[in-house]
Amino acid sequence: MNSKLQFEASPFFKSISSTLSKSILIVFLAILIPSIASSQDEAPLPQYDDSTKADSKSVKTESYENEIAGEFTPGRGFDTVNTKVASLNISGYLLARYINQLPEKTKFSDHLGREYELDLRNDIQIHRVFVWFTGFLGDQKFRYNMTVWGWPTTNQVLIFGNLTYTVTKGVRLGVRMGPNLGARSLQGTWPYFNASDRQLAEESLRPGFTSSLWVTGEMLPRLNYTLSVGNNLSQLGTTASNLTRDLTTSASLLWMPTTGEFGERGGNGDFEKHKNLATRFGVSYVHSRDDRLAPLSDAAAKNTQVKLSDGLNFYDRGSLADGVTVQKANLMRAQLMWDLKLKDFIFNWIISSGIFRNLLRTVLYL
């Protein structure tokens, strides 16, 4: 016997979703129109002193000649081709790790009191490998990035990239496989974290990566914006045939008032040893009409990005209650943060890293 329980979105959440979507569109137009109008200006764009570069102007970046072509710069790879019509840089990243999990207990209980066996680890892995091919084609404003991304730990390999065109300093357009903007750690910081990966407190709540159209730039001095429209909350491990017609929207504002920068890739840790106080204030938002991306007859969902506080996949059968399967939900997340860097120290503060979920359809199998 199958019985179905329908829970429709409340008018309150529907009105919020509609208002936020319209607001993002208005902000997009307000930013885009004046930026395009100023693209005729030929005056040089303003440059800001950052506390690191200002102190290291006399220090030349060390590079090494390549016997085949170009040169090698530590941390920035090999410049193999550099002509007036095209360029190519090749760089890479590799992370090896050892995990030994020795908890006092080998079982845990979820929010319903159900008991699960822990899958404990004791292994050595080449955990993550990246190879990047980057440069420009025809025009310095038209940039490409092709990426080979491998996880030997899970036996996965992805090949993806992005294309960007810089209209002005206020408008840079692109298409990519990239992050939704609901968390700061997804906006260029990687791999400059305090550890090899994100902190677990954010990892459990962040949105994921998807194919998207985006626009970014400096809307006011030292105030940067990014707007993105993508396929879903997380496209990794999902094929096009699994996707729905619902798109995911996200936006971000970052203001760096004191030095106009926050170090290499805006990373955590004051690796740059700032002599002047570097500050960064930001807000990020993401909205997704999310879907389990699998038939209701399947107990396990293909969408594994959203998790409950006890680690259960939100869309798996039985995660909320025995026999209950969530098919669709509205997911909204906003994050406020401010960071300080000075003399080897960094202070991070994040508030309202909340998620509001509104079930659109829930099916109960009896």
Read out DSSP for 72-111?
EETTTEEEEEE-SSBEEEEEEEEEEEEEE---S-SEEE-T
**For 158-208, how does the pLDDT look when each residue is reduced to its tens digit (9 = 90+)?**
899 999 999 999 999 999 998 999 888 888 777 777 777 776 667 777 888
Contacts of 74 (CB under 8 A, 6+ apart): 62
pLDDT the model gives residue 161: 92
**Higher model confidence: residue 24 or residue 71?**
71
Average pLDDT over residues 127-155: 92
pLDDT the model gives residue 71: 62
Q: Which helix (H) or strand (E) holds 30?
A: helix 11-37
Q: How does residue 41 score in pLDDT terms, banded at 50, 70 and 90?
A: very low
C-alpha 333/C-alpha 206 separation (Å) is 9
C-alpha 92/C-alpha 74 separation (Å) is 11
**Over 90: is that where the pLDDT of 211 sits?**
yes
**For 276-330, how does the pLDDT look when each residue is reduced to its tens digit (9 = 90+)?**
999 999 999 999 999 999 888 888 898 888 888 888 898 999 998 898 898 888 8
Mean pLDDT of the chain: 78
pLDDT the model gives residue 126: 92
Average pLDDT over residues 6-30: 39
pLDDT the model gives residue 37: 34
**For 222-253, how does the pLDDT look when each residue is reduced to its tens digit (9 = 90+)?**
999 999 999 999 988 888 888 999 999 999 99
Q: How does residue 256 score in pLDDT terms, banded at 50, 70 and 90?
A: very high
**Higher model confidence: residue 220 or residue 188?**
220
pLDDT the model gives residue 245: 92
pLDDT the model gives residue 69: 54
**Over 60: is that where the pLDDT of 112 sits?**
yes
CA 99 to chain centre: 25
Omega prior to 207 cis, within 30 of 0 = no
CB atoms within 10 A of CB 133: 16
Q: Among 13-22, 121-130, 351-360, which is the least confidently predicted range?
A: 13-22
Q: Helix, strand, or coil here: 155? A: coil
pLDDT the model gives residue 38: 34
* β-strand partners of 340: 279, 347
